[in-house]
Structure formats: structure tokens, C-alpha cells
């Protein structure tokens, strides 16, 4: 007769590892990951991944609703001008510099690429560099299509603001933006 005690121990260990020790699956990954670091070309590089329980088209629709962009940043900026021109949108934004006084100006061009990415680049303003790219990856979770939204931002201000303060302001603004973006996309499709 075979001794099954070692098999029970292996089975119990496998169940324990399965319950607590396996790598996280995409569905179990953090809802938002954000890293901000110095960019060798100057300024900051912010890289973020957001997981949102809606299809990519819903996230893309909220991010490309240019008239409502200020709402996605908790009203921290206003649109001075918005023009739709041959496959691109030009926006002239006035951004609150809180906790500092005054506003910064960012004139940018946004294009929606054939692969579904949204790319925004600097035209002029109080920045020496601004390039933001959103990429939307569909993921299947429990039979439903969700989105892994990946954002990369390269940004440098034309300002005397110290790097540490700029990084702190950038982190605060992006974290707020991601929270609002998630809320708006979920509300758009009627889920919570």
C-alpha cells in the first residue's frame, strides 16, 4: 500500500502557495501605477498604468472629449482656445500653478493615431518640453473587456521651480487626474 501522507503535504503546500504566493494576475494588479523620474533629456518622465473596468473605447472617448479636459484635472486649468484642424486638435490651456501664484500656458496639439493611441505634443507656452502618449490595451476579465491604459509623459517647465517641487506638483496632479478619469469612464458606461 502506498503512503499518501507525502502527497497530502505536497497538495496542502500547493494550495497554500496558490492562495497566497502566486504572482498577481492582471486583474489583481494595482488599479494605478505611477512612476516619476528625472529624464536624461531634461525635465521629468512620468509613466503610468491604469486598469479600468470598461472597454478601451470608453476610456479613449473620455480622454478625447477636449471641451471637458478641465474636468479631468479637477478644474486646475481652463481652455483659452480650442481648434479642430485636419485630424488634430489644438488647445491653448491656462494652468493653475498652485501652490505657486499665477498660471502657466500650454499650447498643444493632440492627434488620435490609427492604432488608437492619443498623442499630445507641445506647440508653445511655459514648457520647454511636453509629450504625452496614451495607449489602450484591452484585457479580458471574467468575460468582460477591461482596459489597461498606459500613459507616458515627458515634461519640462520653463521656470525657476525646483525639481523636487515640480515632481511633487506633477504627482499630485496626475494622481487626481487618474482618479477622475476612472470615475468618468465608469460613469460613462454606467458601472461602479
Q: Residues 41, 129: contact at Cβ < 8 Å?
A: yes
Span 126-130, average pLDDT: 95
40 pLDDT higher than 90: yes
What is the separation of C-alpha 188 from the centre of its chain, rounded to a whole number of angstroms? 17
Over residues 84-120, the pLDDT tens digits come to 999 999 999 998 877 667 888 999 999 999 999 999 9
Question: Where residue 29 falls among pLDDT bands split at 50, 70, 90?
Answer: low
- HEC-encoded secondary structure of the chain: CCCCHHHHHHHHHHHHHHHHCCCCCHHHCCCEEEEEEECCCCCEEEEEEEEECCCHHHHHHHHCCHHHHHHHCCCCEEEEEEEEECCEEEEEEEEECCCCCCEEEEEEEEEECCCCCEEEEEEEECEEEEEEEEEEEEEEECCEEEEEEEEEEEEEECCCCCHHHHHHHHHHHHHHHHHHHHHHHHHHHCCC
Q: Which three cell numbers stand for residue 25?
A: 494576475
Domain ranges, ordered by start, for the chain: 24-189
| Predicted model pTM | 0.81
CATH architecture of the region 24-189: 2-Layer Sandwich (3.30)
How confident is the model at residue 28, as a pLDDT?
Answer: 53
pLDDT in tens, 59-71: 999 999 999 999 9
- For residue 71 the three cell numbers come to 474636468
Amino acid at each position: 500500500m502506498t503512503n499518501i501522507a507525502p502527497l497530502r503535504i505536497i497538495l496542502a503546500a500547493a494550495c497554500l502557495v496558490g492562495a497566497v504566493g502566486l504572482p498577481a494576475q492582471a486583474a489583481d494588479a494595482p488599479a494605478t501605477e505611477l512612476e516619476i523620474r528625472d529624464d536624461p533629456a531634461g525635465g521629468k518622465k512620468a509613466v503610468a498604468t491604469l486598469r479600468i473596468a470598461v472597454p478601451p473605447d470608453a476610456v479613449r472617448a473620455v480622454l478625447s472629449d477636449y471641451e471637458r479636459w478641465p474636468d479631468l484635472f479637477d478644474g486646475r486649468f481652463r481652455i483659452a482656445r480650442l481648434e479642430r484642424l485636419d485630424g488634430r486638435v489644438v488647445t491653448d490651456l491656462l494652468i493653475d500653478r498652485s501652490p505657486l501664484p499665477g498660471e502657466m500656458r500650454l499650447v498643444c496639439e493632440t492627434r488620435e493615431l490609427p492604432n488608437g493611441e492619443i498623442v499630445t505634443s507641445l506647440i508653445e507656452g511655459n514648457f520647454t518640453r511636453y509629450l504625452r502618449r496614451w495607449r489602450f490595451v484591452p484585457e479580458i476579465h471574467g468575460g468582460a473587456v477591461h482596459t489597461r491604459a498606459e500613459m507616458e509623459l515627458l515634461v519640462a517647465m520653463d521656470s525657476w521651480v525646483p525639481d523636487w517641487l515640480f515632481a511633487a506638483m506633477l504627482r499630485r496632479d496626475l494622481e487626481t487626474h487618474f482618479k477622475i478619469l476612472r470615475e468618468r469612464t465608469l460613469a460613462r458606461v454606467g458601472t461602479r
